[in-house]
Chain A
Amino acid sequence: EADIYQTPRYLVIGTGKKITLECSQTMGHDKMYWYQQDPGMELHLIHYSYGVNSTEKGDLSSESTVSRIRTEHFPLTLESARPSHTSQYLCASSDRLAGYEQYFGPGTRLTVT
Chain B
Amino acid sequence: AQSVTQPDIHITVSEGASLELRCNYSYGATPYLFWYVQSPGQGLQLLLKYFSGDTLVQGIKGFEAEFKRSQSSFNLRKPSVHWSDAAEYFCAVGEKGGGNKLTFGTGTQLKVEL
Interface SS of chain B: strand
Main secondary structure of the interface of A (DSSP, over half): strand
Closest to A102 in B: B102
Contact of A96 with B100 in the complex, beta carbons under 8 Å: yes
Contacts of A103 in B (CB 8 A): 46
Chain B residue nearest to A32 (CB atoms) is B99
Q: Is the CB of A104 within 8 A of B43?
A: yes
Q: Is the CB of B51 within 8 A of A31?
A: no
Q: Give A residues with C-beta under 8 Å from B.
A: 4, 6, 31, 33, 40-43, 45, 48, 50, 56, 58, 90, 92, 94, 96, 99-107, 109
Chain B residues near A (Cβ < 8 Å): 32, 34, 36, 41-46, 49, 51, 88, 90, 94, 96, 99-102, 104-107, 109
